[in-house]
Amino acid sequence: MNTIIKKEVPQKTWFVYIILGTDGNYYTGITTDVQRRWQEHCGANGKSLGAKYFRGRKPLQLVYVESQLNRSGATKRECQIKKLSKSHKQELIIQKLNQIAKFPSIKSIR
């Protein structure tokens, strides 16, 4: 009797992120490693592995990060965000900042 043992592979968390470019526009993407992807967009280590969007433009600041359970969810959310107007993207970013501001600071915990 042949028994197939399936090995469970832990799922990676996927992230949707928004970067503000030096031209004042927003770039939205997905990744499993936000720090690595940011460095790629910035051309760290002399390599330009970032999106074509940043050729001729430069990333200025990572302004939004949202986690998703899987790549499918991240891709769907990326598409939703890309369809938003610039002002709606700004509202989304402000909402996230307001959520973060509600957390107590490290100093106030002590």
Mean of the pLDDT values across residues 69-95?
97
Query: What pairs with residue 64 in β-bridges?
Result: 18
Chain centroid, CA 94 distance in Å: 15
* pLDDT score for 63: 95
* pLDDT score for 55: 76
Q: Distance (Å, rounded) from C-alpha 65 to C-alpha 67?
A: 7
56: left (phi over 0), alpha (psi -120 to 50) or beta: left
Least confident of 12-21, 23-32, 38-47: 38-47
* pLDDT score for 48: 64
Domain ranges in the chain are 14-102
Residue 61 main-chain phi, psi, to 5 deg:
-155, 140
Beta carbons of 16 and 66 less than 8 angstroms apart: yes
Within 10 A of 36 (CB to CB), how many other CB atoms are there?
A: 12
pTM, two decimal places = 0.79
Mean of the pLDDT values across residues 33-61?
81
Architecture of domain 14-102: 3-Layer(aba) Sandwich (3.40)
Q: Around 16, how many Cα atoms within 13 Å sit in the side-chain half-sphere?
A: 22
Strands (E), the chain: 14-21, 26-31, 59-68
